[in-house]
Amino acid sequence: MTPLHMSHVQSTTPSSTPPLMHSWQQSSHGLSESPLPPLNPSPAITGGTFAYDDLAAATDGFSDANLLGQGGFGHVYRGTVAGQEVAIKKLRAGSGQGDREFRAEVEIISRVHHKNLVSLVGYCLHGEQRLLVYEYVPNKTLEFQLHGSGRPTLDWPRRWKIAVGSAKGLAYLHEDCHPKIIHRDIKAANILLDYNYEPKVADFGLAKYQAAEVTSVSTRVMGTFGYLAPEYAATGKVNDRSDVFSFGVMLLELITGRKPIMTSSEYQPETLVSWARPLLTRAVEEENYDELIDPRLETNYDAYDMARLVACAAAAVRQTARSRPRMSQVVRYLEGELSVEDLNAGVMPGQSAMQRSSGGTTDQINRLRRMAFGPGAGGSTGTGAITEYTSSEFSDPTTEYGLNPSSEYTASSAGDTGEVAAGAQGQQQWHGRRAPGDTERMSRRTTGRRTQS
């Protein structure tokens, strides 16, 4: 293989682009506004720009044999650079973004360092071609591990680790990055897992590269049917609470083991959120979660942690954005540093499950169904039988790690999804008080099994 030639990234970020800082670096705290440290990849690879020919050689000409998967942003290939495995993402053309703007965006992404976020190694500009290079992550995605055909049951300790770690990564994007980064496509397929099942949020900062044919529901809306917040689907306006809603859907997947889109007995697509609404209300009010819990877990889960996960999911998928908690509140509650009253922020438990609205939510869901699955999918009169739905952007699978899995993995369904990621330094610190009534309500974890009544 031809030796890889790289050059360090020269700063091309426009002067108007605000520096990316930790919250403790903001001027409001009286400290310097110095930016975050530069790109910090594996020592085997020097961060910077890559030559297109070298990346082509690393992937055998972007051959199908090295294709890890494909999705709304483009294709992902496995390759070897300087003796280290990497994942190379070829972004779809046609974003209308110039070289300077692209470099500015890459500059922001490259300065984001957190244990639970994808780590960018470098990039390549070659004519109309734009490529991003990430460290390779071997354990695929949460979607693959939770929903993959023939996969063993994802056990409770791993589900809990994935929930907490993903929350920390998303909270970092929302509250410790300046400018704030809103993901806009949080889903199980964008949660990558390392050898230890430590989660890493992928695909943040790539909104301009979503395929046009995938965003046909609205020219303003990107995301995945089943995860979209109601206000985002209806207006195209997004904020950090829209991400919180999508995160809540992912929590429901971890709790129930169900996919975000299901098939009802009438062969109509049903969202996991609409199915879970009455169950969440009863579970929160009665502190009984049996109707929600993934039956594959049997009794092998921690009741204390399950109660917290259900409460977080109920709060996160509230109908109105302003009534949802911030991700930092979610993290603090999951870690026992915040009370359920503070998590609910004045919303009564009966309301917090979903905050039912009159007809708006149904209309929004039906609108999305019709555009995603065709004219017959929007209401009770539809007759088309729907047998399976993956957590794709509407009808187009976002398959990354899973389309052509490498030999050490078992092939799965076409809906298996993934990206590429690696850990980085920097763990967010959280402060607050422990929930006062949680210890009294149920015994803290002892054997790792559910408290038997």
Contact assessment for residue 25 and residue 34, using Cβ atoms and an 8 Å cutoff = yes
According to DSSP, the β-strands at 120-126 and 48-50 are parallel
220 pLDDT higher than 90: no
Contact assessment for residue 369 and residue 363, using Cβ atoms and an 8 Å cutoff = no
The CATH number fitting domain 142-420+427-441, selected from 1.10.357.10, 3.60.150.10, 3.40.47.40, 1.10.510.10: 1.10.510.10
Residue 268: pLDDT band with limits 50, 70, 90: confident
Contact assessment for residue 422 and residue 137, using Cβ atoms and an 8 Å cutoff = yes
Here the tokens at position 20 are 């990316």
Distance (Å, whole) CA 338 – CA 207: 33
Distance (Å, whole) CA 49 – CA 45: 11
Distance (Å, whole) CA 355 – CA 363: 16
Q: What is the CATH number of domain 6-135?
A: 3.30.200.20
DSSP code of residue 265: T
Q: What is the pLDDT of residues 436-450, one digit of tens each?
A: 334 434 434 433 444
Amino acid at 96: G
185 in catalytic set: yes
- Can you tell me the mean pLDDT for 66-88? 88
Q: Which residues make beta-bridge pairs with 122?
A: 48, 133
Evaluate the omega torsion of the peptide bond into residue 19 and state whether it is cis, within 30 degrees of 0.
no
Q: What is the pLDDT of residue 206?
A: 65
For the chain, the structural domain boundaries read 6-135, 142-420+427-441
Distance (Å, whole) CA 67 – CA 70: 8
30 or 341, greater pLDDT? 341
317 vs 207, 228, 234, 354, 419, CA distance in Å?
22, 10, 16, 6, 25
Distance (Å, whole) CA 14 – CA 63: 36
The helix or strand, by DSSP H or E, that contains position 199, with its residue range, turns out to be: strand 199-201
**What order do you get walking across the sheet with 84-91 strand by strand?**
6-7, 48-50, 120-126, 129-135, 84-91, 74-81, 67-71
Q: What is the pLDDT of residue 253?
A: 99
pTM, rounded to two decimals:
0.69
What ranges in 124-265 are assigned the alpha helix state H? 142-147, 156-175, 230-235, 240-256
Residue 38: pLDDT band with limits 50, 70, 90: very low
According to DSSP, the β-strands at 120-126 and 129-135 are antiparallel
- How many percent of the chain have pLDDT more than 70? 60
For residue 90, say whether it is annotated as part of any ligand binding site.
yes
Q: Which of 280, 292, 254, 291 is nearest to 349 (CA)?
A: 280
Q: What is the pLDDT of residue 19?
A: 36
Which residues, in sequence order, are CB contacts of 14 under 8 Å at separation 6+?
100, 104
Residues constituting the chain: 453
Distance (Å, whole) CA 101 – CA 225: 29
Tokens 């950090």 belong to residue: 240
253 or 6, greater pLDDT? 253
Contact assessment for residue 325 and residue 313, using Cβ atoms and an 8 Å cutoff = no
List phi, psi (to 5°) of 193: -125, 130
Distance (Å, whole) CA 376 – CA 55: 45
29 or 334, greater pLDDT? 334
Amino acid at 343: L
Contact assessment for residue 142 and residue 162, using Cβ atoms and an 8 Å cutoff = yes
Here the tokens at position 431 are 């402060």
Q: What is the pLDDT of residue 236?
A: 86
Three-class secondary structure of residue 200 per DSSP: strand
Q: What is the pLDDT of residue 348?
A: 52
Distance (Å, whole) CA 437 – CA 432: 15
The helix or strand, by DSSP H or E, that contains position 438, with its residue range, turns out to be: helix 438-441
Q: What is the pLDDT of residues 118-165, one digit of tens each?
A: 889 999 999 889 999 988 888 999 999 999 999 999 999 999 999 999
Distance (Å, whole) CA 321 – CA 93: 33
Q: What is the pLDDT of residues 198-214, one digit of tens each?
A: 999 998 876 544 444 33
Q: What is the pLDDT of residues 381-400, one digit of tens each?
A: 333 333 333 333 332 333 33
Return the axis-axis angle of helices 327-334 and 156-175, rounded to nearest 10°.
150
Distance (Å, whole) CA 245 – CA 321: 8
SS3 percent helix, strand, coil of the chain, rounded to 5, is 35, 10, 50
Average of per-residue pLDDT values in the chain:
71
Other residues' Cβ atoms within 10 Å of the Cβ of residue 259: 20
Amino acid at 392: S
- Of 185, 243, 294, 396, which is the active-site residue? 185
Q: What is the pLDDT of residue 207?
A: 54
Residue 217: pLDDT band with limits 50, 70, 90: very low
